[in-house]
Amino acid sequence: MSVDTLPPDGVQPDEFRDRLHLAVFRNPARQRIELFASLDRRDRRNRRFVARPMVFDGINPAMQADPAVSMSDSEAQVLADQLWAAGFRPTQGHGTSGQLAATEKHLDDMRCLVFQSHGIEEGIKRCLPSASPQ
């Protein structure tokens, strides 16, 4: 994931590739989701560069703030995939479990209406509340 940033201290600009790797983990002991970030290059001393906890600075409300992280669409997809792997699902959008259940219920209702309108006894029996699994 690219990040618009300057090279860390001790790294020459021509050696620096601003590639960021993200990993998302659930920490059940802390009841938190943890995001880890590291750069894919090391400096001359073979140090790995990792993101430290985010710091919030107070600024004048009239000032333009820089983004904390900037990423491309494909890099955002990597983050979304990592969050999905950690168990997160969108609250709205295509393919959520709630929408699927609502669609299945709607299709069942439509089948019952068709069975009733065409007098299909076998289908009508399946639509009766006593026939549904409990």
> Each residue of 99-122: pLDDT tens digit?
778 888 888 888 888 888 888 888
Quote the CA–CA distance of 57 and 59 in Å, as a whole number: 6
Q: How far is CA 91 from CA 8, 54, 57, 64, 98, in A?
A: 38, 26, 31, 31, 9
Q: pLDDT tens, position by position, for the chain (134 residues)?
A: 334 444 455 554 444 445 778 888 888 999 999 999 887 777 788 888 888 888 889 999 999 988 887 777 888 888 899 898 888 888 766 556 667 788 888 888 888 888 888 888 887 888 877 644 54
Structure tokens at 72: 């491309």
Integer-rounded Cα radius of gyration of the chain: 26
* The model's pTM: 0.48
